[in-house]
Structure 1
Amino acid sequence: MSRSALIVIDMLNTYDHPDAERLIPSVREALPHVVGLIERARNDGVPVIYVNDNFGEWRSHHGEIIETTLAGAHRDLVEPVLPDAESLFVVKARHSIFYETPLSYLLSQLDVSHVVLCGQVTEQCVLYSALDAHIRHLRVTVPDDAVAHIHKDLAQASLQMMERNMNASVRKARTVEFSLGAPKP
């Protein structure tokens, strides 16, 4: 058996960027599945790690990021996925959750060899993070209904690339097994 971690990517978002209008409908569709994964992981004692952009504010910490996103126009997309007291938090500045962050070290300290990636944006941060996880010899699962996209066609191509080129398990959120056992039907 291998220890799993749920990684929630960029779900603490102000949605005040140029692509927000295209992204928000997809976030609304993915949100219940992300919430369900977070609840299942918490109930199963699986580490939940939030990896989030710092919005270019180099003094940002998770409290400031949470306050900023809750003060935005789309609080309804942020509140359901807020970190709890047990959640871990890593701030990132670029697309990949691994790029110049302490995430690799954190995962090794937690003895994690399987990551479940959910959040946004499928064709950007999720894709690059899946690749970086793969080259670090981590098993990767991406629930296709728990990731949001800006461009649907690019998201579909990205999911295919993750599955074919990175050996990621792409499946529905309800079938994700944190224990790496047999998938639920």
Structure 2
Amino acid sequence: MTQHPPTGRTALLVIDMQNSYFDFPELEEQREPVTEKVNELIRAAREGGCPILLIRTQHERDRSTWTVNMHDDDQGFAFPGTEQSAYVAGLDTEGGTGLIKTRDSAFFDTDLAARLRNLDATHVVLCGLSTHSCVAQTAMDAFAHNFRGAVARDAVASENADLSRALLAFLEDELRQDLLGQQDAVARLRG
């Protein structure tokens, strides 16, 4: 596919790089390499003057923020102040701004779109977890909010490889979002 180099400011969205998502055995084995790749993107964004948003999922114990399937399973997670909700060890958070979400999309019921517009961002590069859910849904909603999205494919991970491949293909084919290798993602963030 043709890449769409940014013509405006790019922001880096670091999604769900927190302990709760690495509870999946398939993701635990990817913890260190993914964290290294994400950290490289964070450093590149700092060097390039790109805003960095550190997005985490967090739910209230009183069930008020739980999703339908959490209610069905009678099980919440990533409660405030717990180890589950904390950033994964070794994540470079310097210069990043935190944002809490309660759904797969970082745009749902948050001020992310307004923040990006206030930062004059027209493009976003996404990295983090999980490719087939939170990364893909945030990328789709970026499109819906008229931000040009790109996924740093070497800095994402998932416990469902088949769904991840399908959703990345959808993002590229249907929404014209770039799937960037690590070197291209770093170059884009450095400007």
Give the TM-score band, short-chain normalised. Answer: 0.7 to 0.9
Tell me, yes or no, if structure 1 residue 151 matches structure 2 residue 154.
no
| Equivalent-residue separation in structure 1 for 2:145 and 2:173 (angstroms) | 17
Deviations 1:123-168 (Å, cap 9, x if unpaired)?
A: 0001111100011111111011100101111111111111111111
TM-score by length of 1: 0.81
Q: Which runs of 5+ in 2 are unaligned?
A: 1-6, 65-78
**Percent identity among equivalent residues?**
31
Label 1:95 to 1:15 Cα distance change in 2 as closer, same or farther (>3 A): closer
Cα separation, 2, equivalents of 1:16 and 1:116: 22
TM-score of the superposed pair, with normalisation by structure 2:
0.79
Aligned with residue 178 of structure 1, among 179, 184, 189: 189
CA–CA distance in structure 2, aligned partners of residues 56 and 163 of structure 1: 35
SS in 1 for 2:99: strand
Matches within 5 A, 1:1-185: 1-15=7-21, 17=23, 20-57=24-61, 68-69=82-83, 78-84=88-94, 86-176=95-185, 177-178=188-189
Q: CA deviation at 1:79?
A: 2.5
CA distance in 1, matches of 2:180, 2:22: 30
CA contact (8 A) 1:27 1:147 kept: no
Equivalent pairs, count: 168
Runs of 4+ in 1 over 6 A off after TM superposition: none
Contact 1:130 1:166 in 2 (8 A): no
What is the rounded CA distance, in whole Å, between the counterparts of 2:162 and 2:30 in structure 1? 13
Structure 1 residues 32 and 16, CA gap change in structure 2 (3 angstroms)? closer
Amino acid of the structure 2 residue aligned with 1:178: L
Tell me the distance in 1 between the aligned counterparts of 2:158 and 2:32.
11
Contact 1:53-1:91 within 8 A present in 2 as well: yes
